[in-house]
Amino acid sequence: MRALTFAAAGLTFMLSASATWAAALPPDLAAAARAYDLAQMHNDKAELTRLLADDYRLFNSGGQAQDKASFIADSTAPGFHIEPFTVEEPLERVISDTALLGGVATLKGTDGGKPFTARLRFMDVWARRGGAWKLIFTQATRIPAG
């Protein structure tokens, strides 16, 4: 499950959670987070490229560090798909031009066409750069079953 270890680790919150959190977030940040979620669900390389900062880093659930290019490659790999999910234990903090969005999510989808389920605790760091919100960093930790 190479793509799962890499790509599924870098998630904000999907549509079901976006509606809940959107009211508390600045409207432009909520829109960027929703666009990011949709880009991941639709394997949209152009939108991911637009929303991730050039210096984006992911510390994925497998313990590896990834840059923007490798994250996008894994996120758009053939046979990789993530279903919408709900964030439990949501955490959001907006501090000036920086925002922390995270929580716990049980992810389901396919990786290389094979079904997967993974439970992750994650944190995404967004920064307003040049007047637009960009995802700059993600940390994801796999939660053991049981």
Tokens of 72: 């996008």
- The pTM is what? 0.85
Quickly state the pLDDT bin for 141 (edges 50, 70, 90): very high
Q: Which are the contacts of 53, defined by CB distance < 8 A and separation ≥ 6?
A: 68, 127, 129, 134, 135, 136
Q: What is the pLDDT of residues 35-83, one digit of tens each?
A: 998 898 899 999 999 999 999 999 999 899 999 999 999 999 999 999 9
**What average pLDDT does the segment 29-34 reach?**
92
**What average pLDDT does the segment 7-30 reach?**
59
Domains of the chain plus CATH, in order, are 2-142 (3.10.450.50)
Report pLDDT for 37.
83
- C-alpha span between 70 and 90 (Å, rounded): 27
If DSSP codes are grouped into helix, strand and coil, which group holds residue 24? coil
Report pLDDT for 109.
93
Q: Which residue has the tokens 């279903």?
A: 83
If DSSP codes are grouped into helix, strand and coil, which group holds residue 46? helix
Residue 135 CB: number of other CB atoms within 10 A? 24
Report pLDDT for 11.
54
- Which residues of the chain form beta strands (DSSP E)? 52-59, 65-67, 81-82, 87-95, 98-111, 114-129, 132-142
Of all residues in the chain, what percent carry a pLDDT higher than 70?
84
